[in-house]
């Protein structure tokens, strides 16, 4: 089923040919119809969304200016702070917590005229690849509800794929936007680290996390990026530069561009996924690009390094959930017992697993052997990418090695689950830009995503290639 794009909605609402209220009610009706089977949301903010839509319609009627996302229904991953609205990270330890402020991306979307329809489900504290680790139950893929939507931003992906919202925001620490985008047949963007503010994003791994959009089209993703990107003085890692201009480059084509093809790609892809990747290369070649063979010798080590770096940062970030300052508190005879009881009851199994792994990697006697070596691998990976980009402009890989898998298929084997992110993790480790673009179907007639990788601040060429793939699919 084809849904109206964010670009079209905003144009029609701003012109007065379509009311924001009408758009919202169409999306709310789809939520009413299918949310029970999909479970994309932890919270649907119906009344506040209606008030926002009505205010936009009044502004249009009075000739007042409205933003570039006027009337566009947008869902937010439930790890982004929203003032006075529960923000849980899908964890019992934060159930019911209401932040006293908005994340910067929320403020920017609101200023652009977006209508927030709810907070979406995720793997607890964004730790997972299937959205089965939520304390509030799994999200199902709207394309086949026996299958996962990917993770950790599975609720955000499902909301867009089901037509509950025209676009959504997710966070990407190791592929948590791109992998669910691929599994749900959407466009998903992980920007260069520092291009989009992390202020108000509940931290998982601070050197890896980035916020980005899920959309139906590349043009919608470009529009969302132009709204949410740009310097934020409240985020010390925010790059001191304006948002990239992306909508203007989508029609430039790829003639003369060099597209990198990795010859030592890790094994484990389904045959149909590799076939779609080959077809993507051919599409770009016909459009005037040159295909360049490259190697990334340390690519296969990225997964190992990530599962030391990310849990180490998580063990530090999640230490703040102690039952004292906010969130769940389990009474106990003394302070240490209260800490233990609160964290034992508040955190789920996957979060506990990663906290323990990270704490171990940072502990005396093991820091150099594990965490220190992981940082060296991270440096090697950055060097390999630097060499590769000296001979190509962007790189194409699969986004996910498989199409959407069955619910419960990988929950008992964490290592198999972690392998879902083998192609997405390296970009987070080096801080570069990447996005997933739907490109045909694979096994079981389910969507396949092709990943476009670009160097740091290479969003323009990345979107040019993505737009060409969209035209050629």
Angle at 201 between CA 199 and CA 206, to 5 degrees: 85
Q: How many CB atoms lie within 10 A of CB 319?
A: 12
Three-class secondary structure of residue 210 per DSSP: strand
Active-site annotation holder among 129, 130, 134, 152: 152
The first and second tokens of residue 351, run together, are: 């979060």
- Label residue 101 left, alpha or beta by phi (over 0 means left) and psi (-120 to 50 means alpha): beta
Verify whether residue 176 is a known catalytic residue.
yes
- Give the strand pairing for 258-262 and 290-294: parallel
The first and second tokens of residue 150, run together, are: 């990917």
Using the structure block, give the residue that is written with the tokens 């995503």. Answer: 449
Residue 194 contacts residue 239 (beta carbons within 8 Å): yes
Burial class (CB in 10 A: 0-12, 13-18, 19+), 420: buried
Q: How many CB atoms lie within 10 A of CB 20?
A: 30
Active-site annotation holder among 19, 77, 153, 165: 77
Three-class secondary structure of residue 175 per DSSP: coil
Sheet with 447-454, edge to edge strand ranges = 41-44, 115-120, 73-77, 167-172, 210-215, 187-190, 433-441, 447-454, 394-398, 258-262, 290-294
Q: Hey, CA dihedral for 70, 73, 199, 226, is it positive or negative?
A: negative
Rounded distance, CA 407 to CA 336, Å?
A: 37
Verify whether residue 77 is a known catalytic residue.
yes
Q: How many CB atoms lie within 10 A of CB 146?
A: 12
Rounded distance, CA 42 to CA 213, Å?
A: 19
CB proximity list for 150: less than 8 A, separation 6 or greater: 129, 130, 131, 141, 157, 179, 180, 181, 182, 183, 184, 400, 404, 420
Active-site annotation holder among 59, 90, 156, 176: 176
Residue 81 contacts residue 101 (beta carbons within 8 Å): yes
Tell me the catalytic residues.
77, 152, 176
């Amino acid at each position: 089923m084809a849904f109206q794009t964010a670009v079209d909605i905003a144009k029609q609402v701003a012109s007065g040919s379509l009311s924001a209220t009408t758009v919202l009610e169409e999306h709310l009706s789809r939520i009413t119809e299918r949310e029970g089977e999909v479970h994309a949301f932890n919270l649907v903010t119906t009344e506040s969304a209606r008030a926002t839509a009505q205010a936009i319609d009044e502004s249009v009627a009075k000739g007042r200016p409205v933003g570039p996302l006027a009337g566009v229904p947008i869902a937010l991953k439930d790890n982004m702070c929203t003032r006075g609205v529960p923000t849980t990270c899908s964890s019992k330890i934060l159930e019911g917590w209401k932040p006293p402020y908005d994340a910067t991306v929320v403020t920017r979307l609101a200023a652009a005229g977006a209508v927030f329809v709810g907070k979406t489900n995720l793997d607890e504290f964004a730790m997972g690849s299937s959205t089965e680790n939520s304390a509030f139950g799994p999200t199902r893929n709207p394309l086949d509800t026996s299958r996962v939507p990917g993770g950790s931003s599975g609720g955000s992906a499902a909301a867009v794929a089901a037509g509950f919202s025209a676009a959504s925001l997710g966070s990407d620490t190791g592929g948590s936007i791109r992998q669910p985008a691929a599994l749900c047949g959407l466009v998903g963007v992980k920007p260069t680290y520092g291009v989009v503010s992390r202020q108000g994003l509940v931290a998982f791994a601070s050197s890896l996390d980035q916020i980005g959009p899920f959309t139906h089209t590349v043009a919608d993703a470009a529009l969302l990026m132009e709204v949410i990107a740009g310097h934020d003085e409240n985020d010390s890692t925010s790059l001191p530069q304006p948002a990239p201009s992306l909508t203007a480059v989508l029609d430039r084509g790829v003639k003369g561009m060099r597209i990198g093809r990795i010859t030592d790609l890790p094994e484990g892809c389904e045959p149909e996924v590799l076939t779609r990747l080959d077809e993507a290369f051919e599409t770009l070649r016909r459009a005037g690009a040159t295909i360049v063979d490259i190697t990334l010798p340390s690519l296969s080590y990225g997964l190992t390094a990530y599962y030391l770096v990310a849990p180490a940062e998580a063990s530090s970030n999640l230490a703040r959930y102690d039952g004292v300052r906010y969130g769940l508190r389990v009474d106990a005879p003394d302070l240490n017992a209260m800490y233990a009881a609160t964290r034992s009851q508040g955190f789920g199994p996957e979060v506990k697993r990663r906290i323990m792994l990270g704490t171990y990697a940072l502990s005396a006697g093991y820091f150099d052997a594990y965490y220190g070596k992981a940082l060296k691998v991270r440096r090697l990976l950055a060097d390999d990418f630097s060499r590769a980009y000296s001979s190509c402009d962007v790189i194409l890989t699969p986004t996910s090695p498989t199409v959407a898998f069955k619910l419960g298929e990988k929950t008992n084997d964490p290592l198999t689950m972690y392998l879902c992110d083998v192609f997405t993790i390296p970009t987070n480790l080096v801080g570069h830009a990447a996005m997933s673009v739907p490109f045909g179907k694979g096994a079981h007639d389910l969507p396949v995503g092709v990943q476009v990788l670009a160097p740091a601040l290479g969003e323009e060429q990345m979107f040019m290639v993505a737009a060409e793939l969209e035209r050629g699919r």
